[in-house]
Amino acid sequence: MTTKYAETEQKTGVKYVGQPIDRLDGRAKTTGEARFAAEHRYPGLAHAALVHATIARGRIVGVDTEAARAVPGVIEVLTHENAPAMKPPPSVSLLNPSSLATGTSVNYLATDQVHWNGQPVAVTVAETPEAARHAARLVRLTYEELPAVVDFASEEPNAVPQKSSALQSAAATKGDAEAALAAAAVSVDLHFSTPPYNHNAIEPHATTAVWDGDRLTVHEGTQSIAWLRKHLALRFGVPEQGIRVLSPYVGGAFGGKSMVWAGTLLAVLAARATARPVRLALTREGVYHTVGGRTPSTQRVALGADEDGRMTALIHTSVARTGRTGGGPEQITAASGHLYDAQNIRLRQSLVQLDLLANTYMRAPGESIGTFALESAVDELAFDLGMDPIELRMRNEPERNPLDGKRFAHRMLREAYAEGAERFGWRERDPRPGSMRDGQWLVGMGVATAYHPAWQMPADVTVRLGADGGVVVRCAMQEMGMGAATVQAQIAADEMGVPLESVRVEYGDSELPDAPGAGGSMQTASVAASLVDATRKLKQAVHALARRSPGSPLRGLRPADLEARDGGLYQGGTGETYAEILTRAGRDHLEASGGTGMIRFLAKTLRDRRRWVKAASGAQFCEVRVNQDTGEVRVSRWLGVFDVGRVINAKTAAGQLRGGIVMGIGMALSEETLIDHRTGRIVNPSLAEYHVPVHADIPRIDVHYLDDPDPTMPLGLIGVGEVSITGVAAAVANAVRHATGRRILDLPITLDKLL
């Protein structure tokens, strides 16, 4: 795919941006050289394990650690009776960065209160992980139990309206949508439900914590080095500068490693209490009990249209849940304010609080499940109108943001659908449900729209140019395996005009300049903006240095006329290499920093938000085969066409987009966290019983992108991390509807629902 990018390439000599470059960390990971958080050895390293509460709500009244302490190799057993105190978690406020990482408001081991079934209530520390885990099973706790409210389905009718915040609008209204719905020529009014989901990164959360006096080193795979460090400084009452967070490798995260959860805090606490380096690697089950997952939801989507399919009413309401000790709303109805040019719109989000672990970020929180409901309802409306679902979407494709008339910074849904329909062979679809077959398999084709907002945060980046012409990019960003560092290397190589092999990117270390967290699909754009700023300043500094030497051919040239290429600065045939310039000046390196201060950044963000709606979007195309006898659903083909602005790396971007689609197929067909509605216990906290898709469940996934730069984003790029999971569950449900005539409103679409 080449569109405008090809033109840019000729003008600026762009060489690496856009290419399918292999990940720079790929070799270390595939050869096993990469050390993850639980793979660091220290002399005297001890191992910790968690004890989880077995009631949903109440108080610990008895602690018996005798049997646990008797296990050979056990060093310490910490409970609320003997653990050193941490400072209580701060309440979440935008003005306090350390609070943004607060996973729950529980001050672990400082309280006898139990707030969810699975809450960590004790920690064992031993010479081996086996001894620690064995001892954890032998800790005897007795409880005074209190009534707990854990069943979302029965509490959902008591939901209260969510308040809007600076970051999230919980309600929006245009016109009178209920009246328009009642008066509409054609309408649908559907109620959906989605279950809770949990993160299942390949690398379960792990921490290795090492104290040296008041100095602390923490190895942990985290999405937010800066938040983690600030949060630990606050909880342990030590200076932030004395804490080093090392996170060069993160084995997947999906939002589950953004906040600070019990495992991290208790590893650090155990290390302090025992004066030993401590490693705490959560079990898979431990992740489910200590790291929040995605909220379940109920949703109503009602759509009204005239005979021609022009939408007159769009209503989307949702109920979600948080824990009583943490969690937050997810923007379930947000995309519905941007996708269709309906004359009347009503969006509302409500919440219930339950005695369960807090929810947290999980890939496209809100939009992923919100687009399931919205895009299923749009498909149903198309059936009722007897209209092609793509045609219905195109008739309602807005020129401006439907809610407030703001302009879209970039919007190519028409192009995405046109290209997708062509490539997928949409024309071959017989619109009659149940009309397409392959032996005993009913074949269905469905589409849905993907949508995720584009964000950016301030970042600090330093670029260092050595006298050998080598370039080092330094930024404490997070690499979770998506190619984050590789794409910055490509950008740096192009901006400096040096071979990719000459660029090294240092990341994953709190000693480096601050980056935002890897979340909200915003890391790459945020870091790229500061990187480009730093390289610009660096080239100016090189030029200034050259101009001071009488022998330099750059003396009479203006910076604006210079091109960075071939390892130096040139105008036409005149110029010289960085190595020549630095060596002549007797400098062994030059360095420059890029970034925006918070105030300037906020001013620009607010200005931008008044003017534009920024987002990534796409068209998802799905083909399913549904077994007519067993109801089994197999996804047989997938194609996604995405508008994600400029693509920096064709290979890693495609990997991200495919990964989101795989996760969405899991959401649609098999994943579901089952919570015992009497006890609040998660009953399937393992990969054996929580079914993520396996290779055999996933067909070839075709991804394409329109590769047209967004003029309002750094380098024209829009994040690719989250948009690809949105719309996926709806595309599956719509294909199932086409195959079988059955509209499934409750995820996951398991075979029992089709019989």
**CA–CA separation, 157 and 566 (whole Å):** 66
Contact status, residue 198 vs residue 293, Cβ threshold 8 Å: yes
Give the strand order in the sheet containing 701-705.
436-438, 441-453, 615-627, 633-643, 701-705
Which residues 253-272 are close enough to bind ligand MOS by CB under 6 A? 255, 258
Tokens of 462: 């330093």
Check residue 365 for interaction with ligand MOS (CB under 6 A).
yes
CB of 361 to ligand MOS, least distance (A): 4
Query: Could you tell me the smallest distance in angstroms from the CB atom of residue 538 to ligand MOS?
Result: 31
Cis peptide bond N-terminal to 748, omega within 30 = yes
Does 335 engage in binding with ligand MOS (CB under 6 A)?
A: no
520 part of the interface to ligand MOS, by CB under 6 A: yes
Q: Which residue is nearest to ligand MOS (CB)?
A: 255
- To ligand MOS, the closest distance from the beta carbon of 484 in angstroms equals 12
In our burial notation (b when 16+ CB lie closer than 10 A, e otherwise), range 186-225 reads bbbebebbbbbbbbbbebbbbbbbbbeeeebbbbbbbbbb
Phi-psi region of 575 (alpha: psi -120 to 50; beta: other; left: phi over 0): left
Is 199 a binding residue for ligand MOS by CB under 6 A? The answer is no
How far is 270 from 78, CA to CA, in rounded Å? 8
Q: Which of 89, 204, 323, 519 binds ligand MOS (CB under 6 A)?
A: 519
Binding piece for ligand MOS, criterion CB under 6 A, among 63-71, 360-368, 689-697, 747-755: 360-368
The count of residues interacting with ligand MOS (CB under 6 A) is 10
Residue partners of 577: CB distance under 8 A and separation at least 6: 469, 566, 567, 568
- The answer to whether 660 contacts ligand MOS (rule: CB under 6 A) is no
Cβ-in-10-Å burial (0-12, 13-18, 19+) of 31 comes to exposed
- 3-state SS class at 694: coil
> x/- string (CB under 6 A) for ligand MOS, residues 716-735?
------x-------------
With CB under 6 A as the contact rule, which of the stretches 89-97, 361-369, 401-409, 497-505 interacts with ligand MOS?
361-369
For residue 658, the number of C-alpha atoms closer than 13 Å in the C-beta half-sphere is 15
Tokens of 319: 């109920």
Query: Which member of 203, 419, 506, 722 is catalytic?
Result: 722
Nearest to 296 by CA among 362, 369, 348, 347: 369
Question: CB 290 → ligand MOS: shortest distance, Å?
Answer: 17
Instruction: Answer yes or no whether residue 331 interacts with ligand MOS by CB under 6 A.
Output: no
Least distance in angstroms from the C-beta of 517 to ligand MOS: 8
DSSP 276: S
Considering the complex, state which of residue 294 and residue 737 has its C-beta at the smaller distance from ligand MOS: 294
The neighbouring-strand residues paired with 305 are 186, 311
Binding of residue 497 to ligand MOS (CB under 6 A): no
Query: Minimum distance from CB of 360 to ligand MOS (Å)?
Result: 8
Does 663 engage in binding with ligand MOS (CB under 6 A)? no
Report the residue number, 255 or 337, with the smaller CB distance to ligand MOS: 255
Q: Min. distance of Cβ 518 from ligand MOS in angstroms?
A: 7
362 or 485, CB closer to ligand MOS? 362
- For residue 612, what are its two tokens? 């534009």
Residue 697, SS3 per DSSP = helix
Q: Is 363 in the site for ligand MOS (CB under 6 A)?
A: yes
Q: Which is nearer to ligand MOS, 519 or 714 (CB)?
A: 519
Rule CB under 6 A: choose which of 98, 102, 162, 223 binds ligand MOS: 223
The set of residues, in sequence order, having a beta carbon less than 8 Å from that of 617 and lying 6+ positions away, is 411, 412, 413, 416, 449, 450, 451, 452, 642, 643, 723
Residue from 227, 361, 372, 451 touching ligand MOS (CB under 6 A): that is 361
Neighbours of 440 (CB within 10 A): 11
Closer residue to ligand MOS (CB): 402 or 517: 517
Q: Give yes or no: 178 in active site.
A: no
Q: Which of 37, 362, 378, 528 binds ligand MOS (CB under 6 A)?
A: 362
Nearest distance in Å: CB 142, ligand MOS: 38
CB-side neighbour CA atoms (13 Å) of 663: 28
Regarding 450 and contact with ligand MOS (CB under 6 A), the answer is: no
The reply to whether 455 sits near ligand MOS by the rule CB under 6 A is no
Which stretches of the chain bind ligand MOS, using CB under 6 A? 223, 255, 258, 361-363, 365, 519-520, 722
Active site residues: 722
